Amino acid sequence: MLEKHLELQRYRAVTDLDEVELRRLIVLAERNVRNLVGTLGYFSPQIRITRESGVNERPTIVVTVDPGEATHIGPVAITFAGDIAESPDAVSQRMKIQRDWSLPTGQRFTQDAWDGAKMQALRELVARRYPAGRLAGSLADVDAPTYTASLTLNLDSGPLYRLGPLQVSGVGRYDPVLVPRLARLNAGTVYDQNQLVQAQQRLASSGYFDSAYIFIDPDSDPLAAPVQVQVREAKLQKLVLGLGATTDSGPRASIEHTHHRVPGIGWNAVTKLQLEKKSPFAQTEWTSIPDEANWRWVALGRAERLDDSALITQAQRLRFGQTQTGDRIDRSMYLQYDRSMVHGAGVLGNSAADTGDGSALTANYVWTGRYFDSLPFPGKGHGLGFELGGGTTLGQDRQPFVRAVGRWLGIEALQSGRIAIRAETGAVLANGTAHIPGTELFRTGGDSTVRGYGLRDIGIPLANGVTGPGHYLAVGSIEWQRPILRDGRPSEWENTLFLDAGAVAEKPQDLRFSVGVGTGVRWRSPIGPLQIDLAYGVKVKRVRLHVNVGFVF
């Protein structure tokens, strides 16, 4: 620090510095050194500055510093003024500011740490309820002989703020109701900076807007502060070309077209064609703008080809219904038509019901709740989801059936890293002769299910060594995720150890689990978690590499 910031350094290049000026600078240098080392918490340094003869009569100034003992934090007093000091609703916010104080008693004092702790406390104050909050006063009272510093901080919250009406600018191409329905910021709600950020993200991720900025003016009426929403609209149509690869399906190429306002109905239409070896597909999905309760109408058509080597399934799907996306909970209700036509060498010796050849019409309800601390990099929390559907097979022999799926993911923080536990179960209740489409039945295995096995490798053993879909599914996984340290601090990389197990059967009592174990790394990439795993499939006695990107629940 002294080599970088000592003012005396600036005069090294001055060739005509006279003797009187040099002596003055040496005297001033001692105060300069004392102030500099004080910012590092050394308030009783021993400083000696001497002058030695140099080459060509240019002197050498030697600065010797014994910093002494570092100063540590003594008592800390954080006081409040304004609404936060009186309101019973603000007790948790006061306690959080005090609990999260980053410079507690016993820690070493530095000026940077002191400044950072004050700024963190102020950020927590203005993040919720009090955007006009300010730092009313602060004092670091240093007792040099005892090497302690007593800290005092006073935060003035000012009045409580509530959101007023939205004032939107930048909308010309799309329906004006789109912004308030996507933002979901209700007048009268207590100000919360995190809710404004989430509203920004909903607007930016909707596809309708290239950018969004939401803020309130702290100088406005606290009881109804107008919410300023500035957006920049995206172009009406968009074309995206993609190249990629997965360890499940190999290389792939895709083309995706988006039309944000289909003429005549004003819906958003996304049409995608993806080419890959095992599961190419073509899909179009049309969605209406959300209503006041955030429900959208959805229409979907999809055609895909699932290549399991021995069995090749040509599948088509039509869906129509409604969906609602919330901050934590998503809901969907829809009617769906499925059709699967199975052919290939594996069909010989197996019935259509066994291979998943058939068609069906179903009514479905899907519910998903996400209660994680942050996405897409959750550190703790849980997610819960279920699907419930019922319908009938089509064709000459119509048979009713019911399909249910439940999913759960729990992440628990540890002193070093965290534990992630995942479970999924599914069942299709139907007559054994019902020709239920294979897309409604179950197979598992692959990057995001049971590692150590290929995509859909776990199913029902059929004649000729073929694997078919089954009526019951059970999958579980436990994973220990630990940060990889760099210079003693957690880096953007993590190491994992995991155990996966999955089973598919025609009867619950016949479930026999296939187990995979392994290790891997995670990277917090800009587009989400990058997962690279090396897994050993115990049943197949093979090692597989699995690569996946993103967090999906």
Q: What is the pLDDT of residue 348?
A: 74
Among candidate residues 50, 40, 46, 225, the one with its CA nearest the CA of residue 142: 40
Please state, for a pLDDT cut of 70, what percent of the chain lies above it: 99
DSSP classification of residue 443: -
Q: Which residues pair with 320 in a beta bridge?
A: 299, 335
Q: Are residues 229 and 373 in the same domain?
A: no
* Host domain of residue 120: 72-156
Question: Which residues in 356-488 belong to E strands, given as ranges?
Answer: 358-372, 381-393, 400-413, 418-430, 460-461, 467-468, 472-486
Q: Are residues 332 and 472 in the same domain?
A: yes
Residue 53 has pLDDT above 80, yes or no: no
Q: Are residues 134 and 270 in the same domain?
A: no
Q: Are residues 19 and 133 in the same domain?
A: no
The pLDDT tens digits of the residues spanning 18-27 come to 778 778 888 8
Tokens of 504: 């598919």
CATH number at residue 190: 3.10.20.310
Q: What is the pLDDT of residue 213?
A: 95
Q: Which of 66, 90, 113 is a domain's end point?
A: 66
Q: Which of 156, 190, 218 is a domain's end point?
A: 156
Q: How far apart are the first and last CA of the chain?
A: 49
What interhelical angle do 91-99 and 111-126 show, nearest 10? 160
Q: What is the pLDDT of residue 310?
A: 78
The pLDDT tens digits of the residues spanning 154-193 come to 999 999 999 999 999 999 989 889 999 999 999 999 999 9
The pLDDT tens digits of the residues spanning 474-515 come to 999 999 999 998 877 888 999 999 999 999 999 999 999 999
What is the DSSP secondary-structure string of 305-317? EEE-SS-EEEEEE
Q: Are residues 317 and 196 in the same domain?
A: no
Among candidate residues 76, 6, 71, 74, the one with its CA nearest the CA of residue 41: 71
CATH number at residue 34: 3.10.20
The total of structural domains in the chain comes to 5
User: Taking a C-beta distance cutoff of 8 angstroms, is the pair 302, 282 a contact?
Assistant: yes
- pTM of the complete model: 0.77
Q: Are residues 171 and 265 in the same domain?
A: no
Tell me what the pLDDT averaged over the chain comes to. 91
- Report, as an integer, the average pLDDT of 408-434: 93
Q: Are residues 217 and 338 in the same domain?
A: no
Q: Are residues 294 and 374 in the same domain?
A: yes
What is the DSSP secondary-structure string of 345-362? GGGTTS-HHHHT-EEEEE
Q: Are residues 495 and 360 in the same domain?
A: yes
Q: Are residues 311 and 435 in the same domain?
A: yes
Please state, for a pLDDT cut of 90, what percent of the chain lies above it: 68
Q: What is the pLDDT of residue 55?
A: 60
Rg (the chain; Cα; Å): 32
Residue 84 has pLDDT above 70, yes or no: yes
Residue 309 has pLDDT above 70, yes or no: yes
The pLDDT tens digits of the residues spanning 325-373 come to 888 899 999 999 999 998 887 777 777 777 888 999 999 999 999 999 8
Q: Which of 15, 40, 66 is a domain's end point?
A: 66
Q: Are residues 340 and 381 in the same domain?
A: yes
CA distance 291 to 206: 15
Q: Are residues 311 and 410 in the same domain?
A: yes
